[in-house]
Chain A
């Protein structure tokens, strides 16, 4: 056992699940504290600093995702997300929100134990997992942190995009080869840019399309799907 005295904070609204998991984990030699919702978790965090938080996605009051985002904003306690939904989208969203791993209900105790140990091992080794924020596709490399788009083969030239266009491209490269509805694009890009977006999604897409096509003729990266929305067809690789 790598960390015999590790402390686990379980945030789960179902008392039975909480108790069963806690019992099991205690038998495995962990210190366990339980909280039934976000407020109880906050109170517990005042008193102790757990080594890992096991967080349920569906909680009364503040839900798991927003707690996860909040915790990630000012702390680096590893988070294992529990979810009652099996969709992969949830997984992606969970990891994007900063969860270290994810486990779908119902889960077996050994599975949970294995995940918890894996996360603790990782957390003990590297200080934080390196977040890759550079994406390569076609002839482009998008850097989400510097908010720049480079052309690979050309002599270090860059693609000039407006802020709103970059947000849109960022939205696409992080969700490639998936049909995005206008509403989804709006949800994921709004808040970052000050521009009123609404119906202008179509316009913005046609501008972005033109710029990408001018830089890489014939690439045809954004496809309009009948009564669905938009599809970024390039395969995107994360690069460092």
Chain B
């Protein structure tokens, strides 16, 4: 629970708790020092006894003066004629009544609630309770009844507010202000967290605006983050430049080589050399493409996926390979938002692998929910379950020898995986019904609007 509170809330809570404690202590001190025992709640029996005696002794003329002298809003005193109408004390106040009866020198005394003279319009019950009122009816020896309504209200400050109210109010205001200020102070941190989350090499890095009015520590964190961002960017750019440069130079050499191949007299050797150069360039292109995919350098185009797959299949068939394609209902018009070259390389690589290691490629295309699913089966020996995941890692092939006769450098499926994932898709290897390997590629389809 505590973990989910923001920094600002925590600080506000700390301040609030602090002020509450101070208020409680102040109120406690007030009560401890200024209130004599019992006096705050009810007038003491002795006081009532003295009052009753005074009234009994006073002349009728001076009784009014006397009542005026002792009366206060907390201590309403009046004399009612006769003594018959004293209502009996409620049982729960019996002990209190006995104490008063003992102190009043044998006068009859009953304790009750005063009539609702000042009932609050909105909260009658609450007002009664707060007033803490008690009515004493004392039978005077002169025959009348002395009625004393004692109200014990909360002590107030010179401003008329209850003790502690000011401190509490002040504390609350400070706490609210603190909350607002802290919210402002910590906002850059929240933004920083959001920005760090958005950092991916495939998107433009977010650069944070320096919060000039924030605390120095927060400013330092933001500045450090921006510097890190810059370094990452520079590194990425340097890497791309390096790869681009290598690719360009390798192509230059390959072009020279390709032109020189014409001078090889043996036609068969010449053909093999040309194939080697093509393979080399394809490998280079794939590496470059997956590096670009990792750096967000791929373009996004609406690609009619079935047509793209069929074109790849056609090319290989024209070449004499055993490839067939089956398009399920509805998959024909599926559109994938992606890089045409990359999508072509994905399909081409997997089909070429199937042909190379499994003699044939059987392509099947379908639509599942929001995705287009392509599975490519071969007729080879299949791939053991434990080796399947490793096949998708760079430089892993089923045979550990890196031998030209059985294939390339083992980048193929790793490149395919990098490209598929750059398109938000997944790839996995299972077994084909015929015993060969099956590669499943799932790519999200694009819906406009």
- Residues of A at under 8 Å CB distance from B? 14, 16-17, 20-21, 24, 58, 84-89, 105-109, 177-179, 220, 223, 225, 227-228, 231, 233
Distance in Å: Cβ of A26 to nearest Cβ of chain B = 13
Whose C-beta in chain A lies nearest to the C-beta of B300?
Answer: A179
A105, A109, A178: the one within 8 Å of B299 (CB):
A178
Most chain A Cβ neighbours within 10 Å, of B251, B340, B449: B251
Most chain A Cβ neighbours within 10 Å, of B247, B254, B259: B259
In the bound complex, what is the Cα–Cα distance between A228 and B298 (angstroms)? 11
* Pairwise interchain contact A84-B258, C-beta atoms closer than 8 A: no
B27 at the interface (CB under 8 A from A): no
A84 surroundings in chain B (CB, below 8 A):
247-248, 251-252
A178 surroundings in chain B (CB, below 8 A):
299-302
B428 at the interface (CB under 8 A from A): no
A86 surroundings in chain B (CB, below 8 A):
285, 341
* Pairwise interchain contact A24-B262, C-beta atoms closer than 8 A: yes
Interface mask (B269-283 → A, CB under 8 Å = 1, otherwise 0):
000001001000100
A85, A106, A228, A231: the one within 8 Å of B255 (CB):
A106
* Pairwise interchain contact A220-B259, C-beta atoms closer than 8 A: no
* Pairwise interchain contact B281-A106, C-beta atoms closer than 8 A: yes
B174 at the interface (CB under 8 A from A): no
* Pairwise interchain contact A179-B299, C-beta atoms closer than 8 A: yes
* Pairwise interchain contact A109-B256, C-beta atoms closer than 8 A: no
A21, A89, A225, A231: the one within 8 Å of B259 (CB):
A21
* Pairwise interchain contact A177-B254, C-beta atoms closer than 8 A: no
* Pairwise interchain contact A17-B256, C-beta atoms closer than 8 A: yes
Q: A88-B341, A106-B281, A233-B448 are in contact. Are A17 and B252 (CB under 8 A)?
A: yes
B337 at the interface (CB under 8 A from A): yes
Distance in Å: Cβ of B280 to nearest Cβ of chain A = 9
* Pairwise interchain contact B449-A220, C-beta atoms closer than 8 A: yes
* Pairwise interchain contact A108-B285, C-beta atoms closer than 8 A: no
Distance in Å: Cβ of A78 to nearest Cβ of chain B = 21
B62 at the interface (CB under 8 A from A): no
B121 at the interface (CB under 8 A from A): no
Distance in Å: Cβ of B164 to nearest Cβ of chain A = 55
Distance in Å: Cβ of B428 to nearest Cβ of chain A = 26
Q: A14-B252, A24-B262, A106-B251 are in contact. Are A231 and B448 (CB under 8 A)?
A: yes
B259, B281, B337: the one within 8 Å of A17 (CB):
B259
Q: A106-B254, A109-B259 are in contact. Are A220 and B301 (CB under 8 A)?
A: no
List 12 other contacts, CB 8 Å, given A21-B259, A179-B337, A223-B449: A14-B252, A16-B256, A24-B262, A106-B255, A106-B257, A106-B258, A107-B255, A108-B261, A109-B259, A178-B302, A179-B299, A220-B448
Distance in Å: Cβ of A65 to nearest Cβ of chain B = 15
Whose C-beta in chain A lies nearest to the C-beta of B340?
Answer: A88
Distance in Å: Cβ of A240 to nearest Cβ of chain B = 25
Whose C-beta in chain B lies nearest to the C-beta of A232?
Answer: B302
B448 surroundings in chain A (CB, below 8 A):
220, 223, 231, 233
Most chain A Cβ neighbours within 10 Å, of B247, B261, B281, B448: B448
A17 surroundings in chain B (CB, below 8 A):
252, 255-256, 259
The 9 closest A-B pairs by CB, nearest first: A179-B300, A177-B302, A20-B259, A106-B255, A106-B258, A106-B254, A84-B251, A233-B448, A178-B301
A14 surroundings in chain B (CB, below 8 A):
252, 255-256
* Pairwise interchain contact B300-A106, C-beta atoms closer than 8 A: no
In the bound complex, what is the Cα–Cα distance between A212 and B257 (angstroms)? 53
A87 surroundings in chain B (CB, below 8 A):
341
In the bound complex, what is the Cα–Cα distance between A20 and B261 (angstroms)? 11
In the bound complex, what is the Cα–Cα distance between A153 and B335 (angstroms)? 28
B337 surroundings in chain A (CB, below 8 A):
179, 225, 231
In the bound complex, what is the Cα–Cα distance between A16 and B251 (angstroms)? 13
In the bound complex, what is the Cα–Cα distance between A21 and B255 (angstroms)? 10
In the bound complex, what is the Cα–Cα distance between A56 and B252 (angstroms)? 11
Distance in Å: Cβ of B345 to nearest Cβ of chain A = 10
A227 surroundings in chain B (CB, below 8 A):
203
Interface mask (B427-449 → A, CB under 8 Å = 1, otherwise 0):
00000000000000000000011
Distance in Å: Cβ of B93 to nearest Cβ of chain A = 75
In the bound complex, what is the Cα–Cα distance between A87 and B247 (angstroms)? 13
Whose C-beta in chain A lies nearest to the C-beta of B257?
Answer: A106
Most chain B Cβ neighbours within 10 Å, of A87, A88, A228: A87
* Pairwise interchain contact A228-B300, C-beta atoms closer than 8 A: yes
B260 at the interface (CB under 8 A from A): yes
Whose C-beta in chain A lies nearest to the C-beta of B260?
Answer: A20
In the bound complex, what is the Cα–Cα distance between A21 and B260 (angstroms)? 10
Q: A24-B262, A88-B341, A106-B257 are in contact. Are A233 and B281 (CB under 8 A)?
A: no
In the bound complex, what is the Cα–Cα distance between A89 and B300 (angstroms)? 12
8 A-B pairs within 8 Å (CB atoms) are namely A88-B340, A105-B252, A108-B262, A177-B301, A178-B301, A223-B449, A227-B203, A231-B302
In the bound complex, what is the Cα–Cα distance between A89 and B341 (angstroms)? 10
B300 surroundings in chain A (CB, below 8 A):
178-179, 225, 228, 231
B262 surroundings in chain A (CB, below 8 A):
24, 108-109
Whose C-beta in chain B lies nearest to the C-beta of A220?
Answer: B449
In the bound complex, what is the Cα–Cα distance between A43 and B302 (angstroms)? 45
Whose C-beta in chain B lies nearest to the C-beta of A181?
Answer: B204
Distance in Å: Cβ of B225 to nearest Cβ of chain A = 20
A20 surroundings in chain B (CB, below 8 A):
256, 259-260
* Pairwise interchain contact A108-B299, C-beta atoms closer than 8 A: no
